[in-house]
Chains A and B, each alone.
Chain A
Amino acid sequence: MDESRRNFLKTIGITAIGAGTIMTGIGKAHAQAKPILVGCPVPRASAYGQNGERGLILAAEEINAAGGVKVGSVMRPLKLEIIDTRDEEPGVPTSEVLLAIEKLILQKKADVIVGGPCMSECSIAAMDLYARHKIVDIVSIGSYTPTWDQKVAKDPEKYKYSFRASGSVKWYIKEGVDLLHGIKENFGYNKMFISIDDSLMCRAASEIVKNMAVKDGWQITGFDKHPIAATDFSVALSDCKKSGAQILFIWAYAPETSILLRQWADMEVPALPIGFIGAAEDPGFWKQTKGKGAYTIVTLSETGCTPSNVTPLTKKYYNAFQKKWGVPPRSTGCVSAYESVYVLKDAVERAGKLEANALIAALEKTDLPAVRGTVRFDKNHQIIYGYNPKESVLGNWVQWQDGDRITIFPKEGATGAIKMPPWMKKS
């Protein structure tokens, strides 16, 4: 080998070693950037919790793959610290849920809290915890009670740390009544039978729906309040059939509601089931009811759980979720938990730091195009729901048709029209 060739190889070798060292250094610098620790309280035994967790993980992975979150001039990765709060499991007291959250704050030293708890009483109780520890929280799985934002309204200074990126039952009721109004206009229906789980939330919601529907010209032909975990609905369905109702309005979250809907199909009750029906939200509902749940109309609470084009991100999210988890997004929590991580990223980057007051100020000014529409918070830190995706986020009412959940309301996200079961079609 001649001298010039040896020198050339030497130069190449030194350059390669140098480049490698520099690259390793950069890698190390990136890897060593202190992660932002996001504490995620999640009820892992509940479908809402499980799907919320999937949304959180998907968002964090996407953000980290894109370089992380820019805090000032440093790119920092997100690290999720997920803890099982066990709310929604029978017999688990609120105090236990609060202990899990406190563990995230004190032991794990979370910078911010995002996710659950899902049960309203737990998330409301947790607000005092966040206020005491001065840590920002974005509750984004379930927790729909109006009491949440009422609590912020009562003492905005104390509860300024809490934001709610999931919905409010107030809005879902309004959506339901607007949907019923459309059905009244299009199909000429005006008789409704109401069936609910015997729980505080369902009783309160059904009372509001009833009053609003009556004002809109609906006649309530009957009312059934069954215990949670009831497994026979024959009497209520017979009553509904006899009452001449054209709509069976259901507000029930118990899994056993799928039995009600199977019985509804077996008895060919000529009233279209519509409502907040926990069991019918799940993509597995069709298989579960062996197709007998067809025509059921149910709110999934969140645009993005079905493939639509409400925003450029809606279908992108739907596909990414399905690719990552092998199943479509279910309902409550899937999208809101996913978005809340992006809301956090957006706020941290605008604030330039993780300090609570700076973060709160940034979160209050959130105006982020996302999956459900545009994320904005009202003065009580409640995400704004509406029908215009450029100003608010949107809900999602679907009808089960041929094994799929087809969005039928609001019209901005609709991918199909309402169909009637054969026994309700006029000859």
Chain B
Amino acid sequence: MVDILFYGTVNSVTFALIAVGFTLVYGVSRLPNFAHGAIYVLVGFMTWSFVNDLNLNYLLAILISLCISSLLGAAIYRLVLIRLRGLPTSEIIASFAFGLIILEGLRLQGIGGFKGFIGPFYVLPSFIDAKIRVAGMLIDAQRLIIIGGGLAVVITLWLFTHYTKIGLSLRAIAQDEQAAMMLGVDSDRVAMISLSIGSALAGLAAVIILPLGNVTAEAGYRVLIYALAVCIIGGLGSWGGAILASFVLGFAMIVSTSLFGAVWESVVLVGTIILILIFKPSGLLGKQKELEERV
């Protein structure tokens, strides 16, 4: 029981970390950033490269990678999405294409001697390599860092969006874009900032979660699916819903694995999405009334 509680929490916070950036962007600018998973993976590889190829300090490598991911997010908006705003299908296709370029580019070989990031060799170091015994169960420090990191991200975001000028403008646009614009908030600037922060959050999730596993390009697709699942279940754009959905999914997957085996994980993921779409199409805490009224 203790292990289900602990690993369920770790799983849930992992989902939350992965999804929070995606939700922020969608909540603020209604832009579905389908390059989210690719940015997550890119930060993992960049950090690995800075540490192993350039021998940079780990924390400095993380900082540089997060800055690059933040700039990349801003560039995606400025160069591509700004022209497509209001065209949801085009936004999805364009951002997904951007993600594809990143992911497939990472696997590309032979150009300028680049060997491609292929295989299980890319592992980020743990922040602390230790383990403690709790209630007879051995727990490694990196998993505790995930829980702590997740909590810190949520608190920092809440403080940021409630007590800073940029954060308040993000919320203003999210609540009522036209009213916010009438009050002098620049919608494009805020959307760019949201994409920039969302991409940095994807990167932050990567450097917190990836020390538990390997960095692989393929993970980008999985991360995108997880982020989408959390957002759909929680309610698109709802931050509270995303956190709640992360815990629903995190525990549902651990419990189902425990009862029926790990192969049911994907069934639980997809099954939960379908059930939510049937009974509460706007998600657990979603506020899209037009969807509710269809039921």
Nearest chain B CB to A35's CB is how many angstroms away?
Answer: 24
- The verdict on A235 contacting B254 (CB below 8 Å), with A45-B109, A225-B263, A230-B265 known, is yes
Chain B residues with CB below 8 A from A227, complex form? 262-263, 265-266
Interface residues of A in 283-301 (CB under 8 A from B): 284, 287-290
Chain A residues with CB below 8 A from B257, complex form? 235-236
Q: Is A258 an interface residue (CB 8 A)?
A: yes
Nearest chain B CB to A399's CB is how many angstroms away?
Answer: 19
Asked if A231 and B120 make an inter-chain contact with CB atoms under 8 angstroms apart, the answer reads: no
Interface residues of A in 211-269 (CB under 8 A from B): 224-227, 229-236, 238-239, 255-256, 258-259, 262, 266-268
- The verdict on A284 contacting B121 (CB below 8 Å), with A231-B213, A266-B138 known, is yes
Among candidates B3, B129, B265, residue contacting A238 with C-beta atoms closer than 8 Å: B3
- The verdict on A234 contacting B7 (CB below 8 Å), with A45-B107, A267-B138, A279-B120 known, is yes
Chain B residues with CB below 8 A from A198, complex form? 262-263
Nearest chain A CB to B160's CB is how many angstroms away?
Answer: 29
- The verdict on A255 contacting B120 (CB below 8 Å), with A235-B7, A235-B254, A267-B138 known, is yes
Asked if A268 and B7 make an inter-chain contact with CB atoms under 8 angstroms apart, the answer reads: no
Interface segment, B60-68, B80-88, B194-202, B214-222?
B214-222
Among candidates B7, B129, B137, B214, residue contacting A256 with C-beta atoms closer than 8 Å: B214
- Taken residue by residue from 27 to 55, chain A's Cβ proximity to chain B (1 for < 8 Å, 0 otherwise) reads as 00000000000000000111100000000
Interface residues of A in 87-106 (CB under 8 A from B): 90
Asked if A45 and B121 make an inter-chain contact with CB atoms under 8 angstroms apart, the answer reads: no
Asked if B262 and A288 make an inter-chain contact with CB atoms under 8 angstroms apart, the answer reads: no
Closest partner residue, chain A, to B139 (CB atom):
A266
Asked if A255 and B214 make an inter-chain contact with CB atoms under 8 angstroms apart, the answer reads: yes
- Taken residue by residue from 256 to 274, chain B's Cβ proximity to chain A (1 for < 8 Å, 0 otherwise) reads as 0110011101100000000
Q: Is A282 an interface residue (CB 8 A)?
A: yes
Closest partner residue, chain A, to B264 (CB atom):
A227
Chain A residues with CB below 8 A from B116, complex form? 45
CA distance A256 to B210 in the complex (A): 12
Closest partner residue, chain B, to A90 (CB atom):
B218
Interface residues of B in 240-292 (CB under 8 A from A): 254, 257-258, 261-263, 265-266
Taking residues whose C-beta sits less than 8 angstroms from the other chain, chain A's interface range is 35 or more
Q: Is B11 an interface residue (CB 8 A)?
A: yes
CA distance A377 to B8 in the complex (A): 52
- Taken residue by residue from 171 to 199, chain A's Cβ proximity to chain B (1 for < 8 Å, 0 otherwise) reads as 00000000000000000000000000010
Nearest chain B CB to A326's CB is how many angstroms away?
Answer: 14
CA distance A322 to B100 in the complex (A): 36
CA distance A225 to B265 in the complex (A): 11
Chain B residues with CB below 8 A from A232, complex form? 7, 10-11
CA distance A56 to B263 in the complex (A): 38
- The verdict on A258 contacting B214 (CB below 8 Å), with A224-B261, A230-B265, A235-B257 known, is yes
Q: Is B71 an interface residue (CB 8 A)?
A: no
Nearest chain B CB to A17's CB is how many angstroms away?
Answer: 44
Nearest chain B CB to A412's CB is how many angstroms away?
Answer: 30
CA distance A226 to B126 in the complex (A): 24
Closest partner residue, chain B, to A268 (CB atom):
B138
Given contacts A46-B118, A258-B214, A259-B213, 12 further A-B contacts (CB under 8 A): A226-B261, A227-B262, A229-B218, A230-B262, A232-B10, A232-B11, A234-B3, A234-B254, A278-B120, A282-B120, A288-B121, A290-B126
Task: Show the binding face of A for B, using Cβ within 8 Å.
Answer: 44-47, 90, 198, 224-227, 229-236, 238-239, 255-256, 258-259, 262, 266-268, 278-279, 282, 284, 287-290
21 sample A-B contacts, Cβ–Cβ < 8 Å, listed by A number: A44-B109, A45-B107, A45-B118, A90-B218, A226-B263, A227-B262, A230-B262, A231-B212, A232-B10, A233-B262, A234-B7, A235-B4, A235-B257, A235-B262, A238-B3, A255-B119, A258-B120, A284-B121, A288-B121, A288-B123, A290-B125
